[in-house]
């Protein structure tokens, strides 16, 4: 069936930018809430987001009550959205955003302007590429992020190398090992600069089970070779330089939100999360735009992003029904503590009502043991003992904070325990 035209009456009620788990969940929830025309704009040939090329489990427990491989999970999310009446337009890249829900969309047939009453912005995250990691050495073939490796292996059936090193130990690095094993690729080492692995147990057991040596406290210095990778130089925990022979490098993790549209457009961005500044409903600095999923902050699982998308869809529906307060006053939530990476949402719109995010999401930049404190000009409002590690979610129930009713600023900081 041909894709429906995007312009002309009736005007689109909600345009969803990005057809990953969060965008599809938001769109489905909007239709279930009775919203008229909901269109997902997805730049790839198929919707489904990152799981489309994660040919391994585990996806779908929260959404479908069973463990699925990524492509099956993605296809189920698409089918559910279509059944609910969502229009999914693929090969539709949103190339610009403008105030009031006006989008510039690149389609195979050319550029069009699109107007929507509300926009749900759900473009996910990307792994940090080589150039931004300041890795020395040769510019050679065979260096890629996990996402690119997965598209080659699962979508194109290619084997880009046979003996790569994997850099990083976030959860996604274990996806890289699974992808390699699927393609008959044998990683020669997993290299982590920190003294311990980043992902939670039991993921930490996986490299050993898969026979991949894990080198913690080890830093990648240079990539060698030409025209293809022939090895890497690393510095170990003792500072000594050593060479590892390999024919590829997988740069995993170090996610940043895919927020180019906000950066090039008019939405306020938070340097902590790298995503748009939002209030407790995911509403951006332009109230026609709502953000959800991993775009809000790096990085959560597909199930978490899906659940956020669903809630956001309901909040957008509430807003269309005039049930969210106009964004006039707000409490600002912020941190200048270098041990805290971010606090999200960054604003609590006033007056507060029953709906909206129940928790603040925070992360630390390094291992910390101490007290997390919320302060305003009158002093400490709230405190809680924490033992936190980087890239691990920290949640603070908003109800616990006893936030003041009026506008103002709440700062978050950590008071560390001394040994
Ligand atoms: C390699 C890898 C392996 C992973 N493995 C697992 C796992 O095993 N289990 C798990 O639970 N989670 C896993 N995750 C995490 C999971 O994939 C994400 O949490 C989830 O996909 C986030 O959903 P999202 O909708 O926020 O973003 P995404 O899935 O990234 O979707 C965003 C969508 O927006 C589209 N888009 C971006 N910009 C534009 C634009 N300008 N115009 C139109 N469309 C646009 C993209 O093409 C994409 O389809 C993995 C992630 C990666 C990178």
Q: Quick one: DSSP state of residue 152?
A: I
Q: Is the domain of 119 the same as that of 265?
A: yes
Residue 342 lies in a domain: no
Q: Show the DSSP H helices in 321-409 as ranges.
A: none
Query: Do 284 and 268 form a contact (C-beta atoms < 8 A)?
Result: yes
**180 C-alpha to center of ligand 1: Å?**
20
Q: Is the domain of 357 the same as that of 310?
A: no
The residues facing 115 across adjacent strands are 102
Query: Do 281 and 89 form a contact (C-beta atoms < 8 A)?
Result: no
Residue 2 lies in a domain: no
Long-range contacts: 141-144, Cβ < 8 Å, 24+?
A: 141/227, 141/228, 141/229, 142/225, 142/228, 142/229, 142/247, 142/248, 142/249, 143/223, 143/229, 143/248, 143/249, 143/251, 144/248, 144/249, 144/250, 144/251
- pLDDT the model gives residue 1: 43
Residue 341 lies in a domain: no
Query: Do 87 and 108 form a contact (C-beta atoms < 8 A)?
Result: no
Query: Do 196 and 216 form a contact (C-beta atoms < 8 A)?
Result: yes
Residue 340 lies in a domain: no
Residue 247 lies in a domain: yes
Residue 281 lies in a domain: yes
Residue 273: CB within 6 Å of ligand 1?
Answer: no
Q: Quick one: DSSP state of residue 328?
A: -
Antiparallel, parallel or unpaired: β 359-364 and 340-344: antiparallel
- If we measure between CA atoms, which residue out of 135, 131, 81 comes closest to residue 306? 81
Q: Give the residue from 192, 227, 253 where a domain finishes.
A: 253
Report in angstroms the alpha-carbon separations of 240 from 217, 232, 270, 393: 11, 14, 38, 34
Concatenating the DSSP letter of every residue in 101-143 gives TEEEEEETTEEEEEEEEEEEE---EEEPPHHHHT-EE---BSE
- If we measure between CA atoms, which residue out of 218, 198, 172, 206 comes closest to residue 388? 198
Atom of ligand 1 nearest to the CA of 125: 30
Residue 46: CB within 6 Å of ligand 1?
Answer: no
Which tokens is 361 given? 């999401």
Query: Do 122 and 292 form a contact (C-beta atoms < 8 A)?
Result: yes
Q: How many domains does one find in the chain?
A: 3
Antiparallel, parallel or unpaired: β 330-334 and 408-416: parallel
Atom of ligand 1 nearest to the CA of 124: 27
Q: Give the residue from 215, 233, 253 where a domain finishes.
A: 253
Q: Whose CA is nearest to atom 53 of ligand 1?
A: 147
Q: Give the residue from 228, 253, 278 where a domain finishes.
A: 253
Report in angstroms the alpha-carbon separations of 393 from 207, 260, 279: 23, 24, 19
The dihedral region occupied by 396, where left means phi > 0, alpha psi between -120 and 50, and beta the remainder, is: beta
Atom of ligand 1 nearest to the CA of 294: 26
Residue 298: CB within 6 Å of ligand 1?
Answer: no
Residue 51: CB within 6 Å of ligand 1?
Answer: yes
Atom of ligand 1 nearest to the CA of 47: 49
Q: Give the chain's end-to-end CA distance (angstroms, integer).
A: 67
Residue 19: CB within 6 Å of ligand 1?
Answer: yes
Q: Is the domain of 268 the same as that of 121?
A: yes
Residue 59: CB within 6 Å of ligand 1?
Answer: yes
**107 C-alpha to center of ligand 1: Å?**
21
Based on DSSP, count helices (H) and strands (E) in the chain, helices before strands. 9, 26
Atom of ligand 1 nearest to the CA of 304: 19
Residue 253: CB within 6 Å of ligand 1?
Answer: no
Q: Is the domain of 317 the same as that of 168?
A: no
Which tokens is 72 given? 């099956």
Q: Is the domain of 230 the same as that of 165?
A: yes
Q: Which of 74, 116, 302 to mutate to test the pocket of ligand 1 (most atoms within 8 A of CB)?
A: 302
Q: Whose CA is nearest to atom 4 of ligand 1?
A: 172
Query: Do 51 and 152 form a contact (C-beta atoms < 8 A)?
Result: no
**274 C-alpha to center of ligand 1: Å?**
16
Q: Whose CA is nearest to atom 18 of ligand 1?
A: 302
Q: Is the domain of 238 the same as that of 155?
A: yes
Atom of ligand 1 nearest to the CA of 25: 25
Q: Is the domain of 272 the same as that of 244?
A: no
Atom of ligand 1 nearest to the CA of 126: 53
**294 C-alpha to center of ligand 1: Å?**
8
Atom of ligand 1 nearest to the CA of 293: 26
State the 10-residue block means of pLDDT for the chain, 419 residues long: 51 96 98 98 97 94 95 98 98 98 96 96 96 92 96 95 96 93 96 89 79 94 96 96 97 96 97 97 98 96 97 98 88 96 95 89 94 94 93 92 87 85
Q: Is the domain of 41 the same as that of 137?
A: no
Residue 364 lies in a domain: yes
Query: Do 115 and 101 form a contact (C-beta atoms < 8 A)?
Result: yes
- pLDDT the model gives residue 2: 43
Residue 251: CB within 6 Å of ligand 1?
Answer: no
**125 C-alpha to center of ligand 1: Å?**
7
Query: Do 213 and 190 form a contact (C-beta atoms < 8 A)?
Result: yes
Query: Do 347 and 332 form a contact (C-beta atoms < 8 A)?
Result: yes
SS3 25: helix
Looking up residue 222, the CATH number of its domain turns out to be 3.50.50.60
Antiparallel, parallel or unpaired: β 248-251 and 164-167: parallel
Residue 301: CB within 6 Å of ligand 1?
Answer: yes
Antiparallel, parallel or unpaired: β 255-257 and 189-191: unpaired
Q: Is the domain of 248 the same as that of 266?
A: no
Concatenating the DSSP letter of every residue in 26-89 gives HHHHHHHTT-S-EEEE-SSSSSS-GGGG--SS-B-HHHHSS-B-HHHHHHHHHHHHHHHT-EEE
Q: Is the domain of 165 the same as that of 278?
A: no
Q: Is the domain of 133 the same as that of 118?
A: no
Antiparallel, parallel or unpaired: β 110-121 and 289-291: parallel
Domain range enclosing 312: 12-126+256-324
Residue 306: CB within 6 Å of ligand 1?
Answer: no
Q: Is the domain of 104 the same as that of 62?
A: yes
- pLDDT the model gives residue 7: 55
Report in angstroms the alpha-carbon separations of 251 from 48, 354, 382: 23, 42, 39
Residue 335 lies in a domain: no
**22 C-alpha to center of ligand 1: Å?**
8
């Amino acid at each position: 069936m041909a894709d429906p035209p995007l312009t002309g009456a009736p005007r689109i009620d909600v345009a969803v930018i990005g057809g990953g788990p969060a965008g599809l969940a938001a769109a489905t929830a909007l239709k279930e809430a009775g919203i008229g025309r909901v269109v997902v704009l997805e730049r790839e040939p198929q919707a489904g987001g990152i799981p489309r090329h994660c040919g391994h489990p585990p996806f779908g427990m929260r959404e479908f009550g069973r463990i699925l491989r990524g492509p099956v999970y993605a296809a189920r999310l698409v089918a559910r959205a279509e059944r609910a009446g969502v229009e999914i337009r693929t090969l539709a890249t949103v190339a610009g955003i403008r105030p009031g829900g006006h989008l510039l969309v690149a389609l195979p047939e050319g550029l069009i302007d699109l107007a929507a009453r509300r926009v749900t912005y759900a473009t996910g995250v990307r792994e940090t590429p080589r150039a931004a990691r300041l890795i020395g050495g040769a510019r050679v073939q065979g260096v890629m992020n996990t996402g690119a490796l997965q598209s080659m292996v699962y979508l194109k059936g290619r084997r880009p190398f046979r003996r790569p090193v994997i850099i990083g130990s976030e959860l996604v690095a274990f996806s890289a090992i699974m992808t390699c094993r699927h393609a008959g690729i044998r990683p020669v080492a997993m290299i982590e600069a920190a003294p311990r692995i980043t992902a939670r147990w039991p993921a930490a057991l996986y490299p050993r089970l898969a026979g991949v040596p894990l080198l913690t406290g080890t830093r990648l210095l240079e990539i060698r070779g030409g025209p293809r990778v022939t090895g890497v130089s690393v510095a170990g925990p003792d500072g000594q330089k050593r060479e590892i022979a390999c024919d590829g490098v997988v740069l995993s993790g170090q996610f940043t939100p895919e927020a180019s549209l906000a950066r090039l457009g008019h939405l306020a961005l938070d340097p902590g999360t790298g995503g748009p500044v939002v209030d407790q409903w995911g509403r951006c600095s332009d109230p026609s735009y709502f953000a959800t999923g991993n775009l809000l902050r790096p990085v959560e699982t597909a199930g978490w992003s899906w659940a956020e998308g669903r809630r956001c869809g309901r909040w957008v529906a509430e807003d269309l029904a005039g049930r969210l307060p106009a964004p006039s006053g707000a409490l600002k939530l912020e941190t200048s503590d270098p041990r805290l990476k971010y606090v999200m949402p960054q604003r609590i719109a006033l007056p507060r009502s029953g709906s909206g995010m129940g928790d603040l999401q925070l992360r630390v930049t390094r291992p910390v043991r101490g007290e997390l404190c919320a302060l305003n000009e009158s002093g400490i409002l709230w405190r809680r003992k924490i033992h936190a590690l980087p890239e691990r979610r920290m949640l603070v129930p908003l109800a616990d904070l006893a936030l003041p009713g009026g506008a103002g600023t709440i700062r978050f900081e950590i008071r560390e325990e001394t040994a």
